[in-house]
Amino acid sequence: MHSPYDDDEREGRRRCGLSKSVLIVDDEQLLVRTLSNVLREAGYRISTAGSAEDAEKRAFADPSFDLIVLDNRLPGESGIEMIRRLRERAISSKLILMTAYETPDVKSEAKRLKVDRYLRKPFDLTVLVDEVVGLIGPGGVAAG
């Protein structure tokens, strides 16, 4: 369940100069590594998951992720189904849904579930970074 303390904890990390946290969810490991490297270089703390089930466990255990970037086609269940459960549990993370298989149904359901951004694969990595910065602000202290 979302608590106002989640927002306080995020703001505290920002004031201390700590980087914002992003959870990347995709079963394509090369894409996960690429997105992780790009966002880490931009100063974000990165966690990854290869399935919706693993991502839900992480998000429910630590609801303070600033952003969740997820693919719609995942093993076991879709990104849309995962988003539905995140919303039911009042997880307040910003959401970017990625898909290579755009359909009107997926796009309208994403809109209904108030997904913050919708990216069609393939996309330019600078577009992703711009979207992330636009949603949660610039990263903190870059790792490395």
Q: Model-level pTM greater than 0.75?
A: yes
| Residues whose CB is less than 8 angstroms from the CB of residue 35 and which lie 6 or more positions away in sequence, other chains included | 24, 26, 69, 125, 128
Q: What is the pLDDT of residues 38-58, one digit of tens each?
A: 999 999 999 999 999 999 999
Domain boundaries, the chain: 4-131
Report domain 4-131's class.
alpha beta
Q: What is the pLDDT of residues 71-91, one digit of tens each?
A: 999 998 999 999 999 999 999
